[in-house]
Structure 1
Amino acid sequence: MTDQIGLAVGHVHLKVADLERAIGFYRDVLGFEVMQRFGTDAAFLGADGYHHHVGLNTWHSRGGTPPPNGHTGLYHAAFLYPDRRGLALALRRVVDAGIPLDGAADHGVSEAVYLRDPDGNGVELYRDRAPEDWPRDKDGHLAMVNIPLDVDALLAEAR
């Protein structure tokens, strides 16, 4: 659709059980900056001076638990890093914080690692390859893949 040119996802807003714990994860591990707080109930975090990419609130979830498996809800929020080194540095913070990975994949168009935030929300950290490097089939259509990502090689980029 040509009328969708310029459309982008602006932010994700999450219900969390413990605001300080969630802020610690999104600020200290993923690298977002707290842009504004609403007391002990909500916070908005952004990158590069943007008003917010992540909203966190406890309005209906303070002390709550993650939804059980088999229920609908957010599969994951994906956070795009500008390059492979940026992704590697984020992964280093994840590993150093002792947060286990759910997986890691090379999709041909991108490299991604998957984990959970302290409230059990799925999180994807990724970097895109240049569009001219995306895999294509013989007809020129996008041909994404799902192959294992060499996490150790990615971590080596953080040195």
Structure 2
Amino acid sequence: MHADAKTATPDAPSGRPVLMPSYVEKAHLVVEDLPMMAAWYEKALGLSPIETGASGVILGVAGTPLLTLETDGAARRQPRTAPGLFHNAFLVPSRAELSRWLAHVANSRVPLTGASDHLVSEAIYLDDPEGNGIEVYRDRDRDEWEFLPEGGVKMATLPLDLQALYDEAPQERWGGMAEGTALGHIHLQVSNIPEADAFFRDVLGLDVMARYPGATFFASGQYHHHVGANVWNSRNQPKRSGAMTGLSGYRIRFNDRAALDTALAALDRQAIATTRGGEGVSLTDPWGIGLTLSA
């Protein structure tokens, strides 16, 4: 994945991933300890409760739902090798907001698992208390991305200078995630990459934007990726079955109704069972994860 010279940015909706023809709107986790997990996401991630019930809570930013936590007494802890969530990736509006959040977690002694410069973005990684992966990141301006002549975008995994980022943090008190924070992408553990290509590219109509060994990154609107799929922990593992903690579902919203209709027609041709309801069209993806498509 390299190019000798920077190529022109393709014509595409500008800016944020939620403005693209389709995007990941929110995710749904099954957890063991709902009060503890909800409190952690509020304190560490800065998400706010939007709706709370006895068995679940919807969290988000500025009234926009991004993450549902639900408890299920019958759920068993998912194995690390199971298909499911690699990480939920929360996109903050700017580098300043990323530095502000970094200072908050550093001062709160929240442990991190890594940090990377991906050329298109700067990302910080951590796990929630039940082992669900999280990325908090900011995008570089699209005119700084390098689009490749053969298609896709140049990405890499380089060190990120956390000390420099921490030193840039505004001094005022952190009050939670800034308005405009979104679920920028979701990264999944899958059983094999050809199956992921067949589903996300050939059925849902997403473009392949980058490939790493054992991973593919898919997007609409020439975003760097709305969905990542890797086999690093889960190669050839059977799909999820029974009640299990971790990612139980995610939602892809289509800003382009015609793109949704095309995806639904592809699902019908593949004889993939769907259920239509008020939330949209629901199905189970090839790895046993619930997926809702809506427009």
What TM-score, normalized to structure 1?
A: 0.85
Q: Is the Cα–Cα contact under 8 Å of residues 118 and 158 in structure 2 kept in the other structure?
A: yes
Q: Distance in 1 between matches of 2:74 and 2:45?
A: 22
Aligned position for 2:215: none
Any idea what the Cα deviations from partners look like across 1:36-91, whole Å, max 9, x if unmatched?
1012x1000111221x10100102467x54x3332222100000000011111222
Superposed displacement of residue 9, structure 1:
0.8
Aligned position for 1:49: 63
Match runs of 1:9-20 below 5 Å: 9-20=24-35
Kindly report the root-mean-square deviation, in angstroms, between the aligned alpha carbons of the 2 structures: 2.2
Q: Which has the larger radius of gyration?
A: 2
Distance 1:148 1:61, change over 3 A: farther
Aligned position for 1:36: 51
What TM-score, normalized to structure 2?
A: 0.48
- Name the SS for the 1:92 alignment partner: helix
Query: In the comparison of the two structures, how many residue pairs are matched?
Result: 152
Any idea what the Cα deviations from partners look like across 1:2-50, whole Å, max 9, x if unmatched?
9xx52111101111111121112211111111001012x1000111221
Distance 1:47 1:60, change over 3 A: same
Residue identity in the other structure for 1:53? L
Residue identity in the other structure for 1:12? A
Aligned position for 2:37: 22
Q: Which has the higher contact order (CA 8 A, sep 6+)?
A: 2
Is the counterpart of residue 106 in structure 1 residue 117 in structure 2? yes
Percent identity at matched positions? 38
Match runs of 1:2-151 below 5 Å: 6-39=21-54, 41-50=55-64, 52-60=65-73, 65=77, 67-136=78-147, 142-151=153-162
Residue identity in the other structure for 2:130? D
Superposed displacement of residue 137, structure 1:
5.0
- Name the SS for the 1:118 alignment partner: coil
Provide structure 1 residue ranges, at least 5 long, that are not aligned to the other structure. none
Distance 1:156 1:127, change over 3 A: same
Aligned position for 2:232: none
Residue identity in the other structure for 2:66? H
Q: Which moved more, 1:118-127 or 1:90-99?
A: 90-99
Distance 1:139 1:15, change over 3 A: closer
Distance 1:141 1:68, change over 3 A: closer
Distance 1:46 1:92, change over 3 A: same
Q: Distance in 2 between matches of 1:25 and 1:99?
A: 10
- Name the SS for the 2:49 alignment partner: strand
Q: Distance in 2 between matches of 1:114 and 1:15?
A: 20
